[in-house]
Amino acid sequence: MLYGEAMNAAETVCRVAAPAKINLTLEVLGRRADGYHDIRSILVPVSLADDVELRESDGDRLEVVPDDVDTGAIGPAAENLALRAAGLLRRRAGLARRVAIRIVKRIPVGGGLGGGSADAAATLAGLNRLWGLDWPQARLMELAAELGSDVPALVHGGAVCIEGRGERVTPVLDADRRGGDTPGFCVLLVNPGLAISTGEIYRTRAEGLTSSPDSYTITHSALRSGDVEAAATGLFNGLEERVFSKYPVVGRLARQLKTTAAAGVLLSGSGATVFALVRNAAQAERIRRSLPGGYWSRVVWTLPDGVMAAHGFLEP
């Protein structure tokens, strides 16, 4: 959701909700000549979101405010994806304007939930309106592809299939169903308190194809029909073996969740967050209460029909 308010004639601010994502499927199809990997993944945003505030300023600034998450793994400001997104958009638009970015951080850092990518997508969407550019979504997605593999999908919004490095984005739902009443899935997110580097996992995984075409087909169909039981049978993540081997606590968490009555359990992205697809919020809370102390956890809903930062509105 994108919204904002005019403070006065010389100062404008907008605030953007930046939803996290989960990967219901993630296939690694091989290493590319540029050193990156070709992937195919079904990615869905969820109702956990950072808040990103963008304010006209005399210089670029970044403030990150933790909201029940550890932000110790966040790197220097110059490497922050939201600031990089602002700089990239400014250069391509030929502007000299600067922005102060304040992020209320609710998405775990290094958790496989796309928090940094979500903040970057929200920044592109918000500044596109705040700076009066009115660029089409496709143009913003081209910029997003320069920032990270998940950013184009999160600019697009809704349940999507991403391919290549993530630059090829195809919506799961037909255009006439996006923004409608397609049912979401209830999801329990659990993180054991680790921040995992996506780059490290890809660099150190054993080479080879980790593909599951049946999982893709099953999950794609289940999202279109809103069938959580069917979606659970299609869950697949080609990075799980490497992550569970390097970080045994994540593997133990996944095995523990699989002993519950959850419909399905999977590592999201490169971890460290593991999610359980559940049938309703009451079941999610029962499973949540059964977990050992010290785990971060949230009950959320998937947002399959395009309710994302890039699809909100900006009030004058």
Q: What mean pLDDT do residues 247-275 have? A: 97
Structural domain count, the chain: 1
H/E element, 92: helix 81-93
Catalytic-role residue among 21, 50, 105, 305? 21
Higher pLDDT, 308 or 65: 65
173-226: pLDDT as tens digits: 876 555 556 779 999 999 999 999 988 888 877 666 576 779 999 999 999 999
Catalytic-role residue among 51, 119, 150, 305? 150
Percentage above 90 pLDDT, the chain: 77
Dihedral sign computed on CA atoms, order 37, 157, 26, 84: positive
We report the CATH number of the domain holding residue 137 as 3.30.230.10
Active site residue 150: yes
- Residue matched to tokens 């049912």: 183
Residue 315 near residue 5, CB atoms below 8 Å: yes
- Write out the residue range of the structural domain in which residue 112 sits: 1-316
3-class DSSP state of 146? coil
DSSP letter at 237 equals E
Please enumerate in sequence order all residues whose Cβ is within 8 A of that of 315, keeping only pairs 6 or more positions apart, or say none. 3, 4, 5
Residue 54 near residue 13, CB atoms below 8 Å: yes
Please enumerate in sequence order all residues whose Cβ is within 8 A of that of 282, keeping only pairs 6 or more positions apart, or say none. none
pLDDT (0 to 100) of residue 306: 63
Q: Is pLDDT of 23 > 90?
A: yes
Please enumerate in sequence order all residues whose Cβ is within 8 A of that of 150, keeping only pairs 6 or more positions apart, or say none. 21, 43, 114, 117, 118, 162, 166, 269
282-305: pLDDT as tens digits: 999 999 999 988 899 999 999 987
Cis amide linkage into residue 232, ω under 30° from 0: no
Look over the chain and give the mean of its residue pLDDT values, rounded to a whole number: 89
Q: Among the listed ranges 35-44, 88-97, 197-206, which one has the minimum average pLDDT value?
A: 197-206
Active site residue 105: no
pLDDT (0 to 100) of residue 218: 96
